[in-house]
Structure formats: structure tokens, C-alpha cells
Structure 1
């Protein structure tokens, strides 16, 4: 960030730039043909363009007080303040800004802001009795008032998000207390949510005391076929959380064991026929039919996340990427074939066989796919992945980044790039997290 930006932060006058970072001609830069000669990574200008966009537009927008940024200082931030995941993602963006800020005064200001907001999040969402987290502020309030009868099961994916985001906050900004909270969360959640019979983690778990009335029947209800499914999002985010924790302490034998287990199991989500990642498997990690239709489909943004998260897990375990490369390239091939338009739009969902049938374009599959394809190109040097990365990047910048306020990003578009109306719901408020995370990944790799 520039000294001007640092000064604006401290003065409290930070606003988003209304000037687009790149000209239209740069956005629509020629795409390397997947069938051409092997291309050098250095032929792509998109990593530098995305880095400039991150510093000039994205971080300034998300550090400002506006309708999307969750802040306990904003009394009107009802939706923003209700959900643990949104608050933690806001802290992540602050930590990312600290990692890129060069002005000492601005860094001190951002650190003070991060410390104050982290304290607020802990006070509002941490379950001090159980040692884990409430997903919503209302659940926390009910528990403190003694109104939760019976106790509401907790969502494992939310605990995974807490672990990985807190660990990332420490990595980015050097916040030991965030790492401590991440490790304490794992210590509490693993004995309750881990499936000791088949491996992996249940979607939900009961954190009430073992002798609590009705615990056995509640546990039975959340272990039926549908509820005991191996949910791809839960397993993938636990995989990433464990990778982050192992990087922070390579000697933690339990974390390593759990990560090794998931690293071996997660590829079972990938169809050997199409390369698509199933939304869910049965408890035994075998394909199964589910009553809820979405559990029988694939989510293209999640396919991209699977590529990135498996690479992160391999790195944390000290495994060569070649160990997992065939699976990753199978996922990427299916993603490009069925989930991405000819001009680079990443669709939302589709069947396990055949092309996408929900062709809405959400911001997060678009940018997560760009990051995954860039990583694959860096790893393999293959033109196909470079071409995909450049197409997806060009589509994102031309259609998801509004010229009048480029840090904001549209949440949702039609397949031809027309913004769709969307309220200030959870999707709107977390736009910054996926954009910041993915642009950091592109810049790093």
C-alpha cells in the first residue's frame, strides 16, 4: 500500500477508488491457446494486475466503513454482526492488509483495529464452557440465557472455518492468541466430530455434557443417513484447517494423523469418470443417493477449492505435489469441460455427468477457479491451465469488478455477465474474503 493509503486509513477518510486498475484492452488481453506451444509462466500479466487490484481497490474498500464491511463499530450492521464466519472473514482481510502495509503508523493502526475486533468476536461467539464457537450471535445469546433446550448441535464446518481463519490471521499478521484459539478449537472439536469408524468428520456434533438429558437421542438424529453423510465442504475445510495447524506445529502428531487421513480420503469425492467433486458421499465414503437433491450434484467453486486445498495439504505434509497431481488434473479437466463457458465464466452447479445446468456466476467460484488454475499451471507448465486462468481472470475483471467502485465486486451475474440483484445477505458480506484470499494465492504462487 502507498503512504497515501496509510494516511487515509489513520485519518478515517478511506474510500474506494473509482478508477479501474486496468484498461479494457488489458482486461481483454489475448488468451494463450491450450493447443499451442508450452508457455512460460512469465507470459501472463494477470498476477501483477491482480496484485495491483488488491492493493488499489479491494483492500481499501474492505477496510472502509460501508454497507458490506462487518464491524462492531457500525450500529446498523445487523446482518454483518450475526454470523461468526462473516466476522472472522473480516478479521482475515484486516490481517491481509497488515501483511501488505509498509507504513509503520498504518500498521500500528491496523493492528489495534484487529486486536479490538478479535476481542469482540471472542466475547460474542466463543463458547467458553465448551471451548468451541457458536455459529450465530443469537445461538450464543440463547445459550447464555439458558434458553437452548435441547442444545443445538454445532456445525463442524463453522469450527473448521474458525480454525483455518484464526491460523491464517496469525500467519499473516503475527497474532499468537489467534493461533492459540485455533488450536484449542481443534482440541475440543476433534473428539466430538471425528468419525472414528470411517474417518473424516460429521457434519454436526453435540457439545453438551455426556450426561446431559437427551444427548443419546440427539446424537442418533444427527447420525442418520442424510446427516451422517461425508459433506465435501466439511471435509475440505477441515483438510485446510489441519494443514494450517500442522504448518504452525509440525510436531503435533494428532493433527498430522488427521491430516494424513483426510488427504487419503478426500480424493474419493472425485468421480473417476468425470473429474467432478461430489457434494456428498455416504458415511462410509462411498457414492450414495440422498433425499436432498443438492447432495447428488457438483459445485464448481468447490471443485476449484479441492485443487487448492489438496495442494496445501500436500505441502504441509511434506509430500511432493506429484503424489496428488493426477487427481488435481482430473478435477481441473472436468471443471473446464463442464463448468466454464468458452469465454471464461465459471458456472455454479451441475450434475455429476454432463455440463452445468445452473449457469449463474457467483463471485467466489470465479476467483477461486482462477487461483486453482494458476497454481496448476505453475506446477505443470501446461498451456491448458494457463489459458483457463487467463480466460477466467479476464471474465472476472470485465464483468464482476464494477468500474465505478472496483473494490466492491458484484456478487452474482448471469452467464453473459449481467449483474443480478442481491440483498446485503451473507453472500454479499463475504465477497471480500474470497477475493483477498485468492489474489494473495495468485500473487504468492
Structure 2
């Protein structure tokens, strides 16, 4: 979790006294305690009971994938490395947060499935998708089983967290193997970064993925950064540190553009895939490759600060500057001034003064990441004109009003102010788990408690 220097607080108190500001963001300490209590209730009484042990697949191992809005099993229950690894991570974090050993049992259950079924024993690396029973499944390429850097990064992320809690040397060894596998095939020694799409044997697909998808992207990059941060905490290896530093600088200084938003896709040489010089009509046909994803931007601001802290003990000034720029861009152009929340997709068209919102829906994961980052920013910049603290409170109210299913449990996939039908949408699938929401709530609860001690 991002922490502030102990020397910061006395200076802050003096500044607030001199300026006459007693409660930045117009809140009382009691308000924060109330929010923390509400968050803990949501996490422990609404969310965790519907996830665990319901998703534990006692028959075949790993975690079940698909449930409808009433938490009834649906579909084939194919298992993706991303979701399986996120469960391992979330259960490990819940063990750390609550001290309850049952979560360590749940995490081990997932680890065994990753080790015994999702790891390719012939070529190394984790398969992207397997059946419920653990048989690898082919996807876009019928000739081989798909692998990618994104999924393997999440495996490292989950394994590192589980090792932190279990201290099982076999867990760390598998994490090390996965890191070495990415280093050998996915890492680009020429231009830096990692190729996202990989053959089964681990060699990179340098021209890109299915449907003309470019070979490098922000999403895999930020989660490789996240995984390396988690791994470095438990295994402070020199090469891990080097790659973590490389990814921090690559994302912060190259992938984040001058507007303070992530460039979604890049060519192998890290030149951006951009439609800035195209007409609106042409761009809208290809907007999936080039747009502002406000949720990713606020999440990345947090991940960059977390990585910098792992490398330097405290986040460095350049990273804080860029992180703030990313959050401010999202608040200025992607924030819903009526109900709160950040929109899903926007774009800054050439020669236009403001962002055009292309999709005004508000998915669940982006809102939880926004909650987490706003609290961090409110502590770092209590007097900022954007008033991060007030936005944090507004965001929390918005989540309670439009994203939480108080009847059946957990979060809707999208906010009901924009997508009323989300109330009857799936609660779990291979792309919807509980990692974003669990992390945001644990981080916020922990931060508020630490704030109360100072």
C-alpha cells in the first residue's frame, strides 16, 4: 500500500492551521471512521460470503467461473489463468487482512490447480484457458494453445501474494519459473517492455495477436508492473528490480501521453497506435485501439506509485507528478458531475478543446479503482482545487447507491444509473472476479485506520 513519509504529517498540520483549513474535503474524522466501518461490513458480510466457499471447485480443483445474478451456477465453467490467479491473490490478501486461516486454505486450493493443471509441463508458462477439469483449450489459433504475458503476470502476482502468507518454498519456485519464462520469451531486449502474445513454446508473436491486435499494450504492461512489484517484495532479486524499474519508466515516461492518459496500444518499437489524425468516423470504427480509459488511468496512477515505493521506499516526485496528472485528467474529463463515477471511454479529438465521451457507462472495476486512488490523492494533496476528499465521499455514496447488490450480494458489472439491466447480469465470469473490489476496500480501510493514528 502507498504510504506517506512520517515527516509529511507535521508539515501538513502546520499548513492547515496557518490557512485556517480544519477539515480538507469538508469531512470530519468521524465521517472517515463511518466509511471504513461500512466498507468492512460490505467486504466481510456482503461480498466474501457469496464468493467463498461457493466458487471453490471441490470436484476438479481451482475456482468455478460463472454465476448469474442470484449466484446460481451457469455455463461451462471454463477457467482462465487471470481469474484463477486473482482468486489466489484475493484469498491471500484476505488472510493477511483478517487473519482467518480459512482464506489460506482457499488460496492453496487455487495454487494447486495452477501448478498441476494450468502450468505447461512441456514448454513452461501458464495456459490461458482450460476446461473445468483442467484440460487446455485452444482459442483463436486452432494450431496451438494460447499463452500471453498478461495472464502469466497475474499468475506471478497471485503466487507472490500466496507465498507471502504461506512461506511455502514451492510457491515461490513456481513464481520464479514464471518470471524466467517471461524473461526468456516475452521480454523485449531491444525496445523494452513485453510482447503480449506468445506461442505455446514461449516465443513472442512479434506482429501482434488475433484480429490485428498490436504486439504491446498498456493493459498487459501495467499488470506486469503490478506483478513485478508483488514479486519484488518477497524476492528482492536484482533482475526483478531491473525489470520493475524498466516498466515503471516505460509506462510513466512513454505509455502515458502528454494529456495524462495511457496510450492503449503500441507497436513493437513502442510507437503509439493512434488515430489522432483520422476523422471521427474512421476513429469510431477503431476506437477500441485508441481511446481514454479513465479507469485504467486512475488505477495506473496507483500502480506507478506502488512500484516506485517498492523501489525507493517512498514514491519519487516524478511518479507522483505523473500520477496526479493522470488522476486530474480523469477527474476533469471523465468524471460524472451528476452522480459521481468515471465513464468507461472518452477521446480527445484533434483540434477540440474537450474530451468526447464515447461510452458513458461506468463498469464496476473502474469505480473501485477510482475509490482507492481518490483516497490516496486526498492524503497527498489535501488542499487541491479538485477536492479529492469530497470526490472520495461522493464516489463511495455512488458505489453504495448504484453498484452494490444489497439483496443477492457483491457488485453489479455496471452502475445501474447507466445500465439498469446490470441488476440481472452475471455476478461472476472469467472476466469478473473480486480482485479489484477486494483490493480497493482493503486498501481504503487500512489507509483510513492509519490516518486515524496520526
TM-score of the two chains, using structure 1 as the length reference: 0.78
More off after superposition, 35-44 vs 46-55: 35-44
Structure 2 Cα separation of the partners of residues 116 and 204 of structure 1: 28
1:237 paired with 2:198, answer no
Taking the TM superposition and a 5 Å limit, the aligned residue runs for 1:32-431 are 38-39=24-25, 42=29, 44-45=32-33, 46-65=35-54, 69=55, 71-73=57-59, 79-102=76-99, 107=101, 109-138=102-131, 141=135, 150-208=143-201, 219=205, 221-222=207-208, 227-250=213-236, 252-267=237-252, 268-272=254-258, 274-289=259-274, 292-318=286-312, 320-321=314-315, 322-342=317-337, 343-353=339-349, 354-382=355-383, 384-405=387-408, 407-416=409-418, 418-420=420-422, 421-423=424-426, 426=429, 429-430=432-433
Measured at CA, do residues 82 and 227 of structure 1 come closer, stay the same or move farther in structure 2, by a change above 3 Å?
Answer: same
Q: Which runs of 5+ in 2 are unaligned?
A: 1-20, 65-72, 276-284, 350-354, 448-454
Structure 1 unpaired stretches of 5+: 1-34, 210-214
- The CA distance in 2 between the partners of 1:219 and 1:87, in whole Å, is 24
Structure 2 Cα separation of the partners of residues 128 and 77 of structure 1: 30
Q: Secondary structure at 2:420's aligned position in 1? A: coil
SS in 2 for 1:357: strand
Contact 1:153–1:206 at 8 Å: present in 2 too? Answer: yes
C-alpha change, 1:177 and 1:440, in structure 2 (3 Å) is: farther
Contact 1:79/1:426 (8 A) holds in 2: no
Aligned pair in 2 of structure 1 residues 116, 402: CA closer, same or farther (>3 Å)?
closer
Per-residue CA distance 1:395-437 (angstroms, 9 max, x = gap): 01111112223x321112354463424346636741x222111
Which of structures 1 and 2 has the larger relative contact order (alpha carbons within 8 angstroms, sep 6+)?
1
**Residues 193 and 382 of structure 1: CA distance in aligned 2, closer, same or farther (over 3 Å):** farther
Residue aligned with 1:131, SS: coil
Q: Give distance in 2, aligned partners of 1:41 and 1:183.
A: 46
In the alignment, the residues of structure 2 paired with residue 243 and residue 323 of structure 1 have an alpha-carbon distance, to the nearest angstrom, of: 18
Q: Equivalent residue of 2:249, what SS?
A: helix
Q: What CA distance in whole angstroms lies between the structure 2 residues aligned with 1:143 and 1:414? A: 35
- Residue correspondences, number: 390
Contact 1:336/1:388 (<8 A) preserved: no
* RMSD of aligned Cα (Å): 3.2
Task: Quote the residue 1:442 is aligned against.
Answer: 444
Q: Distance in 1 between matches of 2:76 and 2:367?
A: 24
Residues 435 and 80 (structure 1 numbering): CA distance in 2 closer, same or farther, change over 3 Å? farther
Maintained 8 Å contact 1:192/1:207: no
How far 1:334 sits from its partner (Å)?
1.0
> Is this contact kept in 2: 1:135–1:158, CA < 8 A?
yes
Deviates more, 1:414-423 or 1:186-195: 414-423
How many angstroms apart in 1 are the aligned matches of 2:75 and 2:430?
14
Per-residue deviation, residues 270-325 of structure 1 (Å, max 9, x unmatched):
231x3222212333333333784311112121112211110111011116422311
* Farther off after superposition, 39-48 or 77-86: 39-48
CA distance in 2, matches of 1:419, 1:442: 29
Partner of 1:10: none
- Conservation of the 8 A alpha-carbon contact between 2:193 and 2:221: yes
